[in-house]
Chains A and B, each alone.
Chain A
Amino acid sequence: MRLQYPPNLRIIEVPCTGKVDILHLLQAFEQGADGVMVVGCMEGDCHYMVGNLHARTRVKRAQEILNTVGLGAERVAMYNLSSGMGGRFAEIVTEMTNKILELGPSPIRRAMGKGQMVREAGEATT
């Protein structure tokens, strides 16, 4: 559809969000991710029946952990959309990016010595 969305998104494809382990989420932050989005099918439409429901519980658990350890639950989020919803995809990426910009770089990244404030979406980051 050639819609524009912020370039700071690294996409990792999985056959079903049910494949996403909570460790994937946590280790992404360990390695310096500022935010993680889990984008799954609409609830009820999962090809594997409940994969996206499992993903939801794992995202929720990750949010609790991130809150407790001082990173903030908002850095990880789950979205549900169908593969035909290109416009919505662009929307949610923009939404998440703006949220993360507000929160600032992950404290992990800062501690790793790599965090720099990005002024606007689209500006290259270090």
Chain B
Amino acid sequence: MIKAKPKPLEEIIDNVKDFSKLLIAGCDGCVTVCEAGGLKEVKVLASALRLYFTQAGKQVQVDEASLTRQCEKEYLAQLNDRMEGYDAVVSLACGVGAQYLAEMYNHKPVFPGVDTCFLGVNEERGLYSERCQACGRCILAETGGICPITRCSKRMLNGPCGGSDKGKCEINPDIPCGWELIYERLKTLGQLDRFERLVEPKDWTTSRDGGPRKIIREDLRI
């Protein structure tokens, strides 16, 4: 899922300090799972903001909401009736949802309440790590189910580099060497012949480098 973390409270306060009617809008999707922007986090932020405004002597209304998803117009539409009552929104959805909310309610300032970080897994509660860079052309079949573009710091396709040291990446001993992981996995699967194949330069057009991306599924559209 998308992994995000809460923005520093100071930054959020700085963005909203001059408004008087705020909506804090969370999302029940990815940000709930990584405990950054779900209903619970909405309530905590709203409470913190109320404390801030009260001690600053300001009368500010801080309302709370959480939508099933913010990346879907039908759920965003649920805020339609209330939106006129606010002069700003803090969206705790990921960058996707926050933007979509801002797009739908484009006459209201929308501020992000989380920093969206990566596509990743829950290793444990509170420990999330990156697994996919959404390059648009998945090569997991060739690398034993481990992505070198994500797990190798240099996104090498013919790794590992010479800095791979005792199974760790040269830039940080907490990061396993992606190519060592691939090597071990291919060994387990009996597919070490794949390791010996030379991989040609990648076509990055399906990745961020090709510009903002779109998927059009004709089979799903009338």
B199 at interface, CB cutoff 8 A? no
Contacts across chains A and B counted by CB atoms under 8 Å? 47
- Return the chain A residue nearest B57 by Cβ: A111
- Return the chain B residue nearest A61 by Cβ: B44
Question: What 5 A-B pairs are tightest by C-beta distance, nearest first?
Answer: A107-B55, A69-B52, A26-B47, A69-B51, A68-B9
Docked Cα-Cα span, A46 to B217, in Å, equals 55
- Of B13, B44, B49, B56, most buried by chain A (CB within 10 Å of CB) is B44
Q: Which residues from chain B contact A42 at a C-beta distance below 8 Å?
A: none
**CB-based contact A108/B13 at 8 Å:** no
- The 20 sampled A-B contact pairs (Cβ below 8 Å) are A23-B44, A26-B44, A26-B48, A29-B51, A30-B47, A64-B9, A65-B51, A66-B51, A68-B10, A68-B13, A68-B48, A69-B48, A69-B51, A69-B52, A69-B55, A70-B55, A107-B54, A107-B55, A108-B55, A112-B54
Q: Which residues from chain A contact B10 at a C-beta distance below 8 Å?
A: 68
Among A23, A64, A68, A111, the residue within 8 A (CB) of B47 is A23
CB distance from B192 to the nearest CB of A (A): 43
CB distance from A75 to the nearest CB of B (A): 11
CB distance from A31 to the nearest CB of B (A): 11
Q: Which residues from chain A contact B43 at a C-beta distance below 8 Å?
A: 23
Docked Cα-Cα span, A111 to B129, in Å, equals 44
Tell me the interface secondary structure of chain B in the complex.
helix
Known: A65-B9, A111-B57. A71 touches B44 (CB 8 A): no
- Return the chain A residue nearest B47 by Cβ: A26
**CB-based contact A30/B50 at 8 Å:** yes
Q: Per-position contact with B for A73-104: 1 when CB-CB < 8 Å, else 0?
A: 00000000000000000000000000000000
- Return the chain B residue nearest A23 by Cβ: B43
Q: Per-position contact with B for A11-29: 1 when CB-CB < 8 Å, else 0?
A: 0000000000011001101
CB distance from B88 to the nearest CB of A (A): 18
Docked Cα-Cα span, A112 to B48, in Å, equals 16
Known: A23-B43, A69-B9. A111 touches B54 (CB 8 A): yes
- Return the chain B residue nearest A107 by Cβ: B55
Q: Which residues from chain A contact B40 at a C-beta distance below 8 Å?
A: 23
